[in-house]
A and B are shown apart, each in its own frame.
Chain A
């Protein structure tokens, strides 16, 4: 059984069907890239999976459990993590504090009451090392540069250790070198995690994607490997406009 099964998923905002009958499956350990022109409904699809938006129809099965009506924190506890399109780290907290919030394997009030705010465990050091923020660990996240903020968000997702990670434009604003490093991290992550990645950078998609789904106007336009997608006429039309 696929880890994630999306069936006839639909959401309507007023008169607009932002997602209109999406069907797809994602296998465990796969990196699935979601492409499409602006406004195609990519972010909204991720919102529906993580619980930010309630669907007006269809179903979402995660590891066989129907989650489409569940509260967001319960979905997170089941193992779904999310990176949003706009960077959202806690600016008032330091880098390690951000990581500590993200390390939420035991999110209950009772457990928090009996744990220290920050534990600099070996794993935390390792994660800081992966994203190159060791020297900034006690810096307030608000003082980080744009690139560093992106890294911190990725670090937070690694720390959260979700089975399924939803990434919305993780390399936006990164340099070519940073994008390459992100690609390597993603390949490594896919050993233990499933990833759905929304991305516009085609060279990045080429390096990481196991499979690609192209969306347009809320619908699935095409699905397949990078070669299949690049040869697809409908995709060319959608991107070029005609």
Chain B
């Protein structure tokens, strides 16, 4: 077995163990603490989604927060409609909207909502991707275009108050009801729901990165030109990973809206998008697992430290990012891989040392 695969399989098993058994035990099955941790886990999904496009294919998507936001609004629209019952959502009345906008109608269906939560982001991501990658846009220009899209999309959501709740977002949501189960976010089962989503997303990510598809993406990251001369349609590879990444971000957004019990345009802000990049970089963008862990660790630190440094947290985050970029560009994952390699080298040296002593002993015996 290839060493890349074994690292990831062992890592995944350990991670799953910690998430499913370790964390709940450490937190003493405390419902409130677990719900906070569920939030970190949903953010881990959006971070691993970025690792797929950025780490694997080298496409730095700074609009990841936009697709994340779409997922969260899809979920929130459904729950808002449920909370409003027969009447219109309250904010629409305040904005002189007197019939339910067509865009909202299908969100009365849970099935539609769950599908829309990742199909809409995937579709939008795919559309942007098709235009970018057919025109062979790469590198920093991908970051600029996706960032511009994010800013425009957030503005649109804020301006269309009557349809989106504007700056306030969507609040006063009903709890989600799925197969007759009313989801209580302060419950152990909700924690396991989010954990399961993360583990499924990671399994998908690991499958993709270890398939030939993932290998071709890594080739594209290094040299898209060269890869074309082997017959690969580079644009279609890039477009697909962009879509998958957007879909996972939307999925994460749905869970996030559930955990926080509202959707807000701040989910689609530039600073949120940059935060995703930081989590991914801290963990290590080359591995989906590492990117997920990066998101959990940074958010855990934020949860603990932002109480202490209320004002300074963003500064700390910025400095952290600078340090990572300068001193560990491959993140925590890079450190572990390098350490593993150094150990292996030491191990093989130790073996040769162990192999020699009998000879030395023999000669000593002869002498004595």
Contact B2 A118, beta carbon cutoff 8 Å: yes
Interface size on A, residues (CB 8 A): 33
Name the contact of B229 in the complex, choosing from A82, A90, A92 (C-beta under 8 A): A82
Contact A76 B229, beta carbon cutoff 8 Å: yes
Contact A93 B228, beta carbon cutoff 8 Å: no
Contact B222 A93, beta carbon cutoff 8 Å: yes
Contact A107 B223, beta carbon cutoff 8 Å: no
Q: Does B196 contact A (CB under 8 A)?
A: no
Q: Does B169 contact A (CB under 8 A)?
A: no
Contact B2 A104, beta carbon cutoff 8 Å: no
Q: Does A114 contact B (CB under 8 A)?
A: yes
CA distance A91 to B216 in the complex (A): 14
Q: Given A50-B229, A73-B234, A117-B212, do A109 and B218 touch, yes or no (CB 8 Å)?
A: no
Contact A107 B222, beta carbon cutoff 8 Å: no
Q: Does B180 contact A (CB under 8 A)?
A: no
Residues of B within 8 A of A114 (CB): 211
CA distance A113 to B210 in the complex (A): 10
Q: Given A73-B228, A82-B229, do A118 and B215 touch, yes or no (CB 8 Å)?
A: yes
Name the contact of A160 in the complex, choosing from B3, B215, B230 (C-beta under 8 A): B230
A22 to chain B, nearest CB (A): 21
Name the contact of A93 in the complex, choosing from B210, B218, B229 (C-beta under 8 A): B218
A227 to chain B, nearest CB (A): 35
**Interface magnitude class on chain B:** 20 to 34
Contact A90 B232, beta carbon cutoff 8 Å: no
Q: Does A88 contact B (CB under 8 A)?
A: yes
Q: Does B91 contact A (CB under 8 A)?
A: no
Encoded as 1 (CB less than 8 Å from any B CB) or 0, chain A from 131 to 149 comes to 0000000100000000000
Q: Does B226 contact A (CB under 8 A)?
A: yes
Q: Given A88-B223, A90-B222, A118-B2, do A107 and B233 touch, yes or no (CB 8 Å)?
A: yes
Encoded as 1 (CB less than 8 Å from any B CB) or 0, chain A from 106 to 132 comes to 011101111111100000000000000
Name the contact of B222 in the complex, choosing from A77, A92, A116 (C-beta under 8 A): A92
Q: Given A88-B223, A91-B222, do A104 and B230 touch, yes or no (CB 8 Å)?
A: yes
B185-230: which have CB < 8 Å to A?
A: 208, 210-216, 218-219, 221-223, 225-230
Contact B213 A109, beta carbon cutoff 8 Å: yes
Q: Does B240 contact A (CB under 8 A)?
A: yes
B247 to chain A, nearest CB (A): 15
Q: Does B236 contact A (CB under 8 A)?
A: yes
Contact B231 A76, beta carbon cutoff 8 Å: yes
Residues of A within 8 A of B212 (CB): 100, 111-113, 115-117
Q: Does A25 contact B (CB under 8 A)?
A: no
Residues of B within 8 A of A90 (CB): 218-219, 222-223, 226
CA distance A112 to B231 in the complex (A): 13
Q: Given A73-B232, A93-B219, do A112 and B211 touch, yes or no (CB 8 Å)?
A: yes
Of B211, B213, B228, most buried by chain A (CB within 10 Å of CB) is: B228
Residues of A within 8 A of B272 (CB): none
Q: Determine the residue in chain A with the shortest Cβ distance to B209.
A: A117
Q: Determine the residue in chain A with the shortest Cβ distance to B226.
A: A88
CA distance A73 to B233 in the complex (A): 6
Residues of B within 8 A of A101 (CB): 215-216, 219, 227, 230
Q: Determine the residue in chain A with the shortest Cβ distance to B241.
A: A109
CA distance A73 to B226 in the complex (A): 10
Contact B228 A109, beta carbon cutoff 8 Å: no
Contact A112 B216, beta carbon cutoff 8 Å: yes
Residues of A within 8 A of B210 (CB): 116-117
CA distance A81 to B232 in the complex (A): 12
Contact B218 A76, beta carbon cutoff 8 Å: no
CA distance A107 to B227 in the complex (A): 10
Q: Does B237 contact A (CB under 8 A)?
A: yes
CA distance A108 to B211 in the complex (A): 13
CA distance A118 to B218 in the complex (A): 13
Q: Does A97 contact B (CB under 8 A)?
A: yes
Q: Does A72 contact B (CB under 8 A)?
A: yes
CA distance A124 to B210 in the complex (A): 19
B11 to chain A, nearest CB (A): 17
Contact B233 A113, beta carbon cutoff 8 Å: no
Name the contact of A100 in the complex, choosing from B215, B229, B236, B237 (C-beta under 8 A): B215
Name the contact of B230 in the complex, choosing from A76, A93, A118 (C-beta under 8 A): A76
Q: 16 A-B Cβ contacts within 8 A? A: A52-B225, A71-B228, A72-B228, A73-B234, A76-B229, A77-B231, A102-B230, A104-B232, A109-B236, A112-B213, A113-B212, A115-B211, A117-B214, A117-B215, A118-B2, A138-B3
Q: Can you add 11 more A-B contacts, CB < 8 Å, to A88-B226, A109-B237, A113-B211? A: A72-B228, A73-B231, A76-B230, A76-B231, A81-B230, A84-B226, A90-B218, A92-B218, A92-B221, A107-B230, A107-B232
Residue ranges of B at the interface with A (Cβ–Cβ < 8 Å): 2-3, 208, 210-216, 218-219, 221-223, 225-234, 236-237, 240
Q: Which 9 A-B pairs have the closest CB atoms?
A: A76-B231, A112-B213, A117-B215, A107-B231, A112-B212, A115-B212, A104-B230, A77-B231, A72-B228
